[in-house]
Amino acid sequence: MTTTVRVNGAQPYDVVIGRNLLGALPGLVGEAKRVLVVHPAALATTADAVIEDLRAAGYETFGAEVPDAEEAKTAQVAAFLWGVLGQADFTRSDAIVAVGGGATTDLGGFVAATWLRGIKVVQVPTTLLAMVDAAVGGKTGINTAEGKNLVGSFHPPAGVLCDLAALASMPKHDFVAGLAEVVKCGFIADPRILDLVEENVETLTDPVRASESEVLAELVERAVQVKADVVGEDLKEAGLREILNYGHTFAHAIENVERYQWRHGAAVSVGMVYVAELARLAGKLSDEVVDRHRSILTSLGLPTTYRGDRWERLLTAMRRDKKTRGDLLRFVVLEGVGKPTRLEGPDPTLLVAAYAEVSRDDSSTAIVL
């Protein structure tokens, strides 16, 4: 069964969720004459199928292979794609189709946003994390030596195609890491997500079984709906959209300290437990909800602790977070399931105490998951 989630706003678009959806791609690309399909090397076969379908639909279609994962999100790779667009005479009426994980969709969206000050992009996410997070919402970006996503633009896609069949081939640890963003959506807005995860752990931790299950289809739809509801009201993170960063302030600090060797979802998992503990210490959240964070994430095989000898480096990284204003640290916290709020400038002793709650005794630097 195919479902569609509408993302409203100044430039509305559809997120199509189902299986074997390539036939729906021309409807999202629309009236473009030329299409550039951006993809990592690992997805060359999938990209070839996309290119063949688009050519059969009458589009002049080109392919551009980019590095895997975060290696793609550089100014050099963006410049390579600008060169491809220029040599192929892409105009404002043409389009980019980004096929891949979150790094590829971030890159493809950024290049689309900057070519001729903005051309159409259609996102075809092939990982769970990209389907429920990176490819939806219009945030695009590349990395610099100073950090992730510091250069970017808000550029809503023309459409997003979430083909759940693509998830069957994902490595288990990558797939499970993507579930952290699904769980996040449950805690900030849709408690039914948490119930579904708790009731279906065995299925959800097997990518093949999960990709074929209706429970995953429902979870992706619900997570996308949470994001759609938020970004439809607040594209540029003026206020409401910040709730999507639940757990991310501490998570981004872990990623920075670990030189981006942790999976994003693993860092977000620890980040959610950290901020739940912070909310509890600030008198905003019950022990029961904090415990539920740990139980759900642990049942999926996600980490809930981090090494205990990195506080100063983590604090420095958090002060550089995009949600910080001046020297004022800001966190998205919960007052209950589905009740997010902001905690600004918490007492430094609370920050340290929350860190103690997620610290483990050993100082192993092993990559989690």
**Which residue's structure tokens are 């090494």?**
307
pLDDT value for 335: 97
Give 299-341 pLDDT, tens digit per residue: 999 999 999 999 999 999 998 765 555 568 999 999 999 999 9
Average pLDDT, stretch 1-10?
Answer: 90
Average pLDDT, the chain: 92
Q: How many residues does the chain have?
A: 369
17-26, 55-64, 76-85, 156-165: least confident range: 17-26
pLDDT per residue as tens digits for the range 41-50: 999 999 999 9
Q: How confident is the model at residue 365, as a pLDDT?
A: 43
Q: Which residues of 195-232 are buried (b: 16+ CB within 10 A; e: fewer)?
A: ebbeebeeebbebeebbbbeebbbbbbbbbbbbbebbb
Q: Comparing 1-5, 219-223, 322-326, which segment has the lowest mean pLDDT? A: 322-326
Identify which has the larger pLDDT, 321 or 226.
226
Query: Which uninterrupted H or E stretch holds 163?
Result: strand 159-163
Contacts of 358 (CB under 8 A, 6+ apart): 270, 273, 274, 277, 304, 305, 306
Catalytic residue among 148, 184, 241, 280: 241
User: What's the rounded Cα separation, in Å, for the pair 20 and 18?
Assistant: 7
- Output the pLDDT for position 326: 58
73 in active site: no
Strand partners, 341: 333
Check residue 288 and give its pLDDT: 98
Distances (CA, A) of 321 to 37, 79, 289, 316: 32, 26, 26, 9
Instruction: Find out if CATH 3.40.50.1970 is the number for domain 3-169.
Output: yes
| Residue 239: per-residue pLDDT | 66
pLDDT in tens, 100-145: 999 999 999 999 999 999 999 999 999 999 999 888 888 999 998 8
DSSP H/E element including 224? helix 214-233
Kindly indicate the confidence band of residue 346, based on its pLDDT and cuts at 50, 70 and 90. very high
**pLDDT surpasses 70 at 238:** no
Say which of 222, 248, 307, 330 is annotated catalytic.
Answer: 248
- Determine the pLDDT at residue 216: 97
Is domain 172-360 classified as CATH 3.40.50.300?
A: no
Q: How far apart are CA 156 and CA 165, in angstroms?
A: 24
Residue 295 vs residue 135, higher pLDDT? 295
Residue 89: the pLDDT is 96
The mean per-residue pLDDT over the stretch 244-271 comes to 94
> Who wins on pLDDT, 123 or 150?
123
Could you tell me the pLDDT band of residue 367, with boundaries at 50, 70 and 90? very low
- How crowded is residue 281: how many other Cβ atoms within 10 Å of its Cβ? 20
Q: Which of 34, 39, 139, 323 is catalytic?
A: 139
Q: What is the pLDDT of residues 261-275, one digit of tens each?
A: 999 999 999 999 999
Strand segments (E) across 179-256: none
241 is catalytic: yes
Dump the DSSP string for 33-93: SEEEEEEEGGGHHHHHHHHHHHHHTT-EEEEEEE-SGGGG-SHHHHHHHHHHHHHTT--TT
**Residue 143 appears among annotated catalytic residues:** no
Q: Which of 120, 222, 252, 294 is catalytic?
A: 252
Q: Where are the domains of the chain?
A: 3-169, 172-360
Q: Catalytic: which of 73, 143, 181, 277?
A: 181
